[in-house]
C-alpha cells in the first residue's frame, strides 16, 4: 500500500532485471506497433519484457527443429526468468494491452477450470449457493468500514464517466465484495431463521497493483469469494475453519502443494477481518505464496452496514466470514513443480494428462502408426483420461518431446512402426527424466494399457507432493533467536520460531530482513516456548519468510 508508484521503465527493469536484454525477448515488434500511443513508454517496455508470442513462425523459419533447441531459461539458473518463459512458451498467459493486465490463454485457463470444478463441488456439498453481485460499488460503501477503506483505497479503479456523462458518485470496480454483500444481506436477513446465509460467487476483481507478475499479482484477476452470515461467533469461526480446510485439502490432494496452514498475525490480517486463516505455499525459489485465505469477519461489516437479525424480540448484528482463492493459485502450481526442462503438472489438475507422439520415417509407415495412435487415444479417452494425440507433421518427434515436456504433461506415449508390430508402446514419466522414467513394451491391449496409465498417473500425483514436501521441509529452519532468524532468511530459507513480540517488532523484522510472518501454523510444537525476539513466554511459533 502506501504511496503510489507509477511504473517507470526503471522500476520495470528493477523488477525483472534478469530478462531484459535476452535476445528471444526482443523481437515482438508487433506488440509495440499496436500499443496505444499515449502509453507508449510503458507499453514499449512491457513489450520488451513480455514473453514472446507462441513461436508459430518457428516451423517456417527455423532451420534446426532438433531436440536440443533451448526455449526456456533453466529453472536452476534463474527462477524468475524460468517462470516468465514458462508462462509464455507453455502458452499459459500473455500480457494484456493495459499495464498489469493478463490474458489467460486456453492452457492456463484449463488449469483454472480444474480448480473451479473441484472447489465448486465442495462449496455446494457444504451448503453454499452460487450467485452474482454487481461489480460496481458506490464509493461511499467502501468508506463504511474503517480498516477496509484504509486497506483498499490505494488500489482502487474508479469509474467516473458512464454513458457519456460525469457520474455524480464515483463507482469502485470491485476489489472484493464485502461491502456490497453486506448492503444486500441487510435487506435479506431479518430473522434468525434467515441464517445461516451461505453464498459464493465466481468473479473478476480489480486491484490497482504496481508490481505485477502473471497469475501472481495482476491488476485484474479471477477468483471465487465466499460470504456467509451466522447467528453466533462460534458458527462463523467453524465456517472460516471449514473453508480453509477445503482449500488445504485441495492444495495437497489435487495440486500436490504441501501448504502450511495457519493464522495470520494481526499486522497481516485482511482489512476488515478479526482473524485471517491462510495457506502458504513454498515456491521453487523458496519464497512464500499466500495461496488462499479464509476470514472470520466478526461483526465488523454487519455493524458498518447495520446487518441485524431478530430473535425473540432481540436484535443482534450477525457474524460473518469471507474466503477466496484466485487465479494466483495457478501461479503457485507452476512455481511449486517443474525443473530445468519446464513445467510439471500434477495429473489431477493437468489439462492434458497423456500426450501421444507418433513416430514414422517413411511415408508407408505413417498410416499404421497413426492408426495405432488413434486407437490408443480412443482407449484412454474412453477411460476418462485427458489425452492429446500430437499428429502434426510440422514438427519432429524430438521437438514434440521437448515441447510437451516443457508444457508439463505427466505422461508421454511413443508409438513407432516397431510398436505397431509388437502391439506395445513406450511410456515416459515427466517427473523422471531420461531412461529412469521410460518403460518399454507396455501392451496396447486396452485393459492393460488403461490400468498401467492410471497407476502411473497416481504415482506421479503422489510423487510430486512428496518431492515438494521434502523440499519444503528441508527449507524451514527452527530458530530460537533473532540472529538465527536473520541467518535463515539470508540463506533464502523460511524461519520458524516462537513469537509473542509486538506489531512494531514484527515490522522491524520486515524492514531488516525482508521477511514477514506468513502465519502461526495450526501445527504447533508442544511445550514451553520463549519469544525469539524478546525472550518472553510465547504460546506459539510463527513462520517467517520472504513472500510474493
* Total count of residues recorded for the chain: 548
Q: Which of 20, 26, 173, 370 binds a second copy (CB under 8 A)?
A: 173
Q: Which of 187, 315, 526, 527 binds a second copy (CB under 8 A)?
A: 187
How many degrees, rounded to 5, is the angle at CA 385 between CA 382 and CA 387? 100
Q: Which of 101, 232, 374, 547 binds a second copy (CB under 8 A)?
A: 101
d(CA 141, CA 126): 30
Q: Which three cell numbers stand for residue 155?
A: 488500489
Q: By three-state DSSP, how is residue 411 classified?
A: strand
The upper half-sphere exposure of residue 528, i.e. CA atoms within 13 Å in the direction of its Cβ, equals 3
Q: Which three cell numbers stand for residue 490?
A: 539470508
Encoded one letter per residue, x for contact with a second copy by CB under 8 A and - for no contact, window 373-402 reads ---------------------x--------
In the complex, the smallest distance separating the C-beta of residue 268 from a second copy, rounded to whole angstroms, is 21
Contact of 44 with 32, CB cutoff 8 Å: yes
The one segment of 124-132, 236-244, 380-388, 499-507 that binds a second copy by CB under 8 A = 124-132
d(CA 370, CA 284): 38
Q: Does 153 bind a second copy (CB under 8 A)?
A: yes
In the complex, the smallest distance separating the C-beta of residue 360 from a second copy, rounded to whole angstroms, is 20
Contact of 221 with 336, CB cutoff 8 Å: no
Q: Which of 10, 37, 362, 364 binds a second copy (CB under 8 A)?
A: 37
Q: By three-state DSSP, how is residue 318 classified?
A: coil
Q: Does 2 bind a second copy (CB under 8 A)?
A: no
Q: Is 172 exposed, middle or buried (0-12, 13-18, 19+ CB in 10 A)?
A: buried
Q: Does 97 bind a second copy (CB under 8 A)?
A: yes
In the complex, the smallest distance separating the C-beta of residue 525 from a second copy, rounded to whole angstroms, is 42
Site for a second copy in 278-307 (CB under 8 A): 305-306
d(CA 487, CA 493): 9
Q: Does 131 bind a second copy (CB under 8 A)?
A: yes
- Alpha helices (runs of H) in 176-327, residue ranges in sequence order: 178-188, 233-249, 300-305
Question: Which string of DSSP letters, residue by residue, matches 85-122?
Answer: HHHHHTT-EEE-SSTT-EEE-HHHHHHHHHHHHHHHHH
In the complex, the smallest distance separating the C-beta of residue 460 from a second copy, rounded to whole angstroms, is 24
In the complex, the smallest distance separating the C-beta of residue 291 from a second copy, rounded to whole angstroms, is 19
The site that binds a second copy (CB under 8 A) totals a number of residues, namely 86
For a second copy, which is the closer residue by CB, 279 or 406?
Answer: 406
Q: Which of 22, 105, 388, 454 binds a second copy (CB under 8 A)?
A: 105
Q: Which three cell numbers stand for residue 387?
A: 489425452
The one segment of 103-111, 229-237, 451-459, 530-538 that binds a second copy by CB under 8 A = 103-111
Helices 328-336, 106-125: axis angle to 10 degrees equals 110
Q: Does 219 bind a second copy (CB under 8 A)?
A: yes
Nearest Cα to Cα of residue 322 among 262, 271, 251: 271
Q: Which of 57, 367, 421, 536 binds a second copy (CB under 8 A)?
A: 57
d(CA 540, CA 528): 9
Q: Which of 23, 64, 125, 161 binds a second copy (CB under 8 A)?
A: 161
For a second copy, which is the closer residue by CB, 189 or 509?
Answer: 189
For a second copy, which is the closer residue by CB, 186 or 534?
Answer: 186
In the complex, the smallest distance separating the C-beta of residue 40 from a second copy, rounded to whole angstroms, is 10
Nearest Cα to Cα of residue 176 among 150, 146, 204: 204
The one segment of 51-59, 248-256, 401-409, 427-435 that binds a second copy by CB under 8 A = 51-59
Q: Which of 11, 160, 421, 443 binds a second copy (CB under 8 A)?
A: 160
Q: Does 170 bind a second copy (CB under 8 A)?
A: yes
Q: Which of 48, 85, 220, 414 binds a second copy (CB under 8 A)?
A: 220
Q: Does 440 bind a second copy (CB under 8 A)?
A: no
Q: Does 113 bind a second copy (CB under 8 A)?
A: yes
The one segment of 34-42, 69-77, 359-367, 519-527 that binds a second copy by CB under 8 A = 34-42
Encoded one letter per residue, x for contact with a second copy by CB under 8 A and - for no contact, window 4-23 reads x-x-----------------
Q: Beta strands 136-138 and 93-95: pairing type?
A: unpaired
For a second copy, which is the closer residue by CB, 30 or 539?
Answer: 30
Give residue 364's region: left, alpha or beta (phi > 0; psi -120 to 50): alpha
Amino acid at each position: 500500500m502506501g504511496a503510489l508508484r507509477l511504473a517507470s521503465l526503471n522500476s520495470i527493469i528493477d523488477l525483472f532485471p534478469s530478462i531484459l536484454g535476452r535476445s528471444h525477448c526482443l523481437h515482438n515488434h508487433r506488440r509495440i506497433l499496436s500499443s496505444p500511443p499515449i502509453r507508449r513508454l510503458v507499453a514499449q517496455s512491457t513489450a520488451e519484457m513480455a514473453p514472446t508470442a507462441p513461436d508459430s513462425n518457428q516451423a517456417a523459419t527455423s532451420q534446426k527443429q532438433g531436440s536440443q533447441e533451448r526455449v526456456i531459461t533453466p529453472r536452476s539458473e534463474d527462477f524468475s526468468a524460468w517462470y516468465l518463459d514458462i508462462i509464455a512458451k507453455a502458452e499459459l498467459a500473455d500480457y494484456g494491452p493495459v499495464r498489469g493486465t493478463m490474458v489467460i490463454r486456453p492452457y492456463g485457463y484449463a488449469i483454472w477450470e480444474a480448480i473451479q470444478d473441484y472447489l465448486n463441488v465442495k462449496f455446494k456439498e457444504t451448503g453454499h449457493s452460487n450467485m452474482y453481485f454487481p461489480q460496481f460499488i458506490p464509493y461511499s460503501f467502501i468508506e463504511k468500514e474503517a480498516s477496509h477503506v484504509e486497506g483498499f483505497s490505494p488500489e482502487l479503479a474508479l469509474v467516473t464517466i458512464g454513458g457519456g456523462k460525469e457520474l455524480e458518485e464515483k463507482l469502485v470496480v470491485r476489489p472484493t465484495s464485502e461491502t456490497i454483500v453486506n448492503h444486500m444481506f441487510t435487506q435479506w436477513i431479518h430473522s434468525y431463521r434467515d441464517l445461516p446465509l451461505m453464498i459464493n460467487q465466481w468473479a473478476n476483481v480489480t486491484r490497482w497493483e504496481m508490481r505485477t507478475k502473471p497469475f501472481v499479482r495482476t491488476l485484474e484477476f479471477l477468483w471465487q469469494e465466499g460470504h456467509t452470515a451466522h447467528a453466533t461467533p462460534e458458527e462463523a469461526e467453524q465456517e472460516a475453519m471449514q473453508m480453509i480446510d477445503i482449500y488445504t485439502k485441495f492444495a495437497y490432494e489435487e495440486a500436490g502443494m504441501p501448504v502450511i496452514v495457519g493464522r495470520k498475525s494481526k499486522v497481516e490480517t485482511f482489512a476488515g477481518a478479526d482473524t485471517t486463516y491462510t495457506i502458504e505455499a513454498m515456491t521453487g525459489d523458496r519464497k512464500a505464496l499466500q495461496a488462499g485465505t479464509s476470514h472470520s469477519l466478526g461483526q465488523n461489516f454487519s455493524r458498518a452496514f447495520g446487518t441485524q437479525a431478530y430473535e425473540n424480540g432481540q436484535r443482534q448484528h450477525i457474524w460473518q466470514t469471507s474466503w477466496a482463492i484466485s487465479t494466483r493459485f495457478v501461479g503457485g502450481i507452476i512455481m511449486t513443480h517443474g525443473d530445468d526442462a519446464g513445467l510439471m503438472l500434477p495429473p489431477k489438475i493437468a489439462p492434458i494428462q497423456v500426450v501421444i507422439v507418433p513416430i514414422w520415417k517413411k511415408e508407408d509407415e505413417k498410416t499404421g502408426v497413426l492408426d495405432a495412435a488413434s486407437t490408443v487415444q480412443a482407449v484412454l479417452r474412453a477411460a476418462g483420461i485427458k489425452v492429446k494425440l500430437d499428429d502434426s507433421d510440422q514438427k519432429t518427434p524430438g521437438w514434440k518431446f521437448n515441447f510437451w515436456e516443457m508444457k508439463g504433461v505427466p505422461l508421454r506415449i511413443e508409438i513407432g512402426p516397431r510398436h505397431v508390430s509388437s502391439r506395445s508402446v513406450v511410456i515416459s514419466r515427466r517427473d523422471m527424466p531420461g531412461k529412469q522414467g521410460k518403460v518399454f513394451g507396455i501392451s496396447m491391449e486396452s485393459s492393460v494399457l488403461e490400468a498401467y496409465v492410471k497407476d502411473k498417473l497416481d504415482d506421479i500425483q503422489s510423487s510430486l507432493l512428496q518431492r515438494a514436501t521434502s523440499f519444503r521441509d528441508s527449507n524451514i529452519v527452527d530458530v530460537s533467536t533473532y540472529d538465527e532468524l536473520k541467518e535463515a532468511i539470508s540463506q533464502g530459507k523460511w524461519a520458524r520460531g516462537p513469537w509473542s513480540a509486538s506489531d512494531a517488532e514484527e515490522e522491524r523484522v520486515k524492514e531488516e530482513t525482508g521477511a514477514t510472518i506468513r502465519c502461526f501454523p495450526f501445527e504447533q510444537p508442544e511445550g514451553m516456548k520463549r519469544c525469539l525476539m524478546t525472550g518472553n513466554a510465547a504460546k506459539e511459533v510463527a513462520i517467517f519468510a520472504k513472500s510474493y
